[in-house]
């Protein structure tokens, strides 16, 4: 079964008509995209794109053999034409199955917005899932656990799909749900469609997609369902560096948004009476997916040592999840046996399946806590044993990162480029954080520096 993408853009296309934004201005060549539409084996068309006959001709295809045209969503883009000779477009009711004369079977799947997803099976058993713009599968939960039996009724119930086409950038949680249900695994080809101007086209678009195990193709591309397409290996360990308000936490969160069972490790704690700090914590909580579990602790080594299903971390942290947010118990790894699966789980990076990813935010606050505990701020205490005690704690953390089998994304401040601190304690913190960042980075497959919201790859 082959699928020709007559368009890969959002309903209004990319660039959007009359839009002066930078993304639209640079959406040229292969990065210019018409509204997403699929042509399956020349016989089935899903959604319409402007000038579908010309789009098919540019891709070396013809619409003469199309016997069915299905729509997935209410159309709010440019007016669509139905070329002469094509059947009138229609939709299939959720849960209903359509058998075509050429051997394809189409099952309509429910989504969480107005619209319909389509599961298409070929004569040889190949399977693909197509979701409308801005949609996630309905009835799969929130990506917080793996469905028993590996799938949900109507979506992934027969095992992983060979190809999934969805709005990865607008709904990374949809991909997390599919992964949690077993409908997407390491061999599934995940292709982003409905691409809009929210992400700059070109290298930044492809970088963001590769970070979550997906890819984009140009309009007119033909995909062979079941053919493996490698994406860059997903790193097991990533360090994201940046200055204050640089966007480093957003970048770190983005890298795990499409994976289930993420455990967010908050090292900052609470600060009684500090309204500014409380506001920062609240903003971070609101931005995170509701399926993530939050553990508030600076005891990172036990979490990093929790290497597989059924092995719980033994840290003493407290649950910091907000109302309505599923959360791990005090100091515990939220993943149980058979749950989870972040970057590298069960495949390309060698990480074991069933291990919940960790997002640690941040190492600078962890270091502050440890320096408090060892008395590193006082010059006399520092020289009398504080220095050695701090080295032992940082060495233990770095060793745990080296040995961990969990996917880890850690955030830290880059403080070495500013003014020289006026106090010896300030200079000590700057120096020790620089040493910690360098040692931690040495154990990571990928290191990023975020400046003005732009991620620069230092490694990987």
Q: How far is it, in rounded angstroms, from Cα 110 to Cα 116?
A: 6
Among 356, 353, 437, 344, residue whose Cα is nearest residue 394: 437
* SS3 at position 98: strand
CB 221 within 8 A of CB 163: no
Q: State how beta strands 189-192 and 163-166 pair.
A: parallel
d(CA 447, CA 249): 14
Catalytic residue among 73, 194, 206, 284: 284
Pull the structure tokens for residue 158.
Answer: 């027969």
Nearest Cα to 309, choosing from 346, 335, 348, 345? 335
What φ, ψ does residue 244 adopt, rounded to 5°? -60, 135
Which residue shows structure tokens 């619409």? 63
Structural contact between residues 113 and 213, judged by C-beta atoms closer than 8 angstroms? no
Tokens of 301: 């080594």
The CA-atom distances, in angstroms, between 145 and each of 83, 97, 333, 372 are 45, 28, 13, 37
Give DSSP secondary structure letters for 164-199.
EEE-TTT-HHHHHHHHHHTSS-TT-EEEE-SB-TTS
The token duo for 451 is 């400046």
Q: Where are the alpha helices (DSSP H) in 231-361?
A: 248-256, 275-287, 300-305
Strand extents, DSSP E, 197-330? 222-224, 237-242, 263-266, 293-296, 318-319
Cβ(8)–Cβ(219) below 8 Å: yes
Q: What DSSP string runs through 422-451?
A: SSHHHHHHHHHHHHHHHHHHHT-SEEEEEE
SS3 at position 121: strand
Catalytic annotation present for 284: yes
Which positions are catalytic?
A: 284
């Amino acid at each position: 079964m082959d699928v020709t993408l007559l368009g890969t853009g959002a309903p209004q296309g990319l660039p959007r008509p009359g839009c002066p934004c930078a993304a639209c201005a640079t959406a040229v060549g292969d990065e210019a995209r018409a509204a997403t539409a699929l042509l399956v084996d020349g016989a089935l068309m899903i959604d319409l794109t402007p000038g579908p006959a010309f789009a098919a001709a540019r891709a070396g295809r013809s619409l003469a053999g199309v016997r069915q045209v299905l729509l997935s969503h209410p159309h709010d883009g440019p007016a669509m034409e139905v070329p002469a000779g094509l059947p009138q477009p229609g939709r299939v009711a959720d849960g209903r199955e359509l058998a075509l004369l050429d051997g394809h079977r189409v099952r309509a799947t429910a989504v969480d917005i107005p619209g319909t997803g389509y599961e298409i099976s070929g004569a040889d058993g190949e399977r693909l899932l197509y979701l409308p713009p801005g949609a996630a599968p309905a009835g799969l939960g929130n990506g917080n656990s793996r469905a028993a039996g590996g799938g949900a009724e109507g979506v992934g119930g027969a095992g992983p799909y060979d190809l999934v086409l969805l709005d990865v950038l607008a709904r990374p949680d949809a991909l997390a749900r599919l992964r949690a249900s077993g409908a997407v695994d390491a061999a599934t080809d995940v292709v982003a469609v409905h691409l809009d101007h929210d992400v700059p086209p070109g290298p930044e678009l492809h970088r963001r997609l590769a970070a979550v195990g997906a890819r984009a193709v140009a309009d007119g591309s033909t995909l062979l369902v079941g053919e493996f397409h490698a994406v860059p290996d997903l790193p097991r360990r990533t360090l994201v560096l940046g200055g204050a308000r640089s966007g480093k936490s957003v970048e770190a969160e983005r890298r795990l948004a499409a994976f289930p069972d993420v455990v967010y490790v908050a090292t900052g704690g609470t600060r009684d009476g500090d309204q500014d700090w409380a506001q920062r914590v609240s903003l971070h909580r609101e931005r995170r997916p509701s399926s993530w579990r939050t553990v508030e602790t600076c005891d990172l080594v036990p979490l990093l040592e929790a290497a597989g299903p059924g092995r719980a971390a033994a840290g003493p942290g407290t649950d910091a999840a907000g109302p309505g947010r599923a959360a791990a118990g005090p100091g515990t790894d939220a993943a149980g046996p058979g749950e989870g699966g972040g970057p590298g789980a069960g495949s390309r990076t060698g990480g074991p399946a069933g291990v919940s990813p960790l997002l640690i935010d941040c190492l600078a606050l962890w270091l502050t806590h440890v320096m408090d505990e060892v008395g590193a701020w006082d010059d006399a205490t520092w020289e009398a044993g504080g220095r050695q005690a701090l080295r032992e704690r940082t060495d233990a953390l770095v060793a745990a990162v080296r040995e961990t089998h969990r996917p880890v994304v850690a955030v830290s401040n880059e403080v070495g480029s500013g003014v020289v601190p006026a106090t010896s304690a300030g200079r000590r913190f700057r120096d020790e954080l620089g040493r910690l960042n360098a040692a931690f980075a040495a154990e990571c497959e990928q290191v990023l520096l975020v400046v003005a919201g732009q991620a620069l790859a230092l490694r990987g």
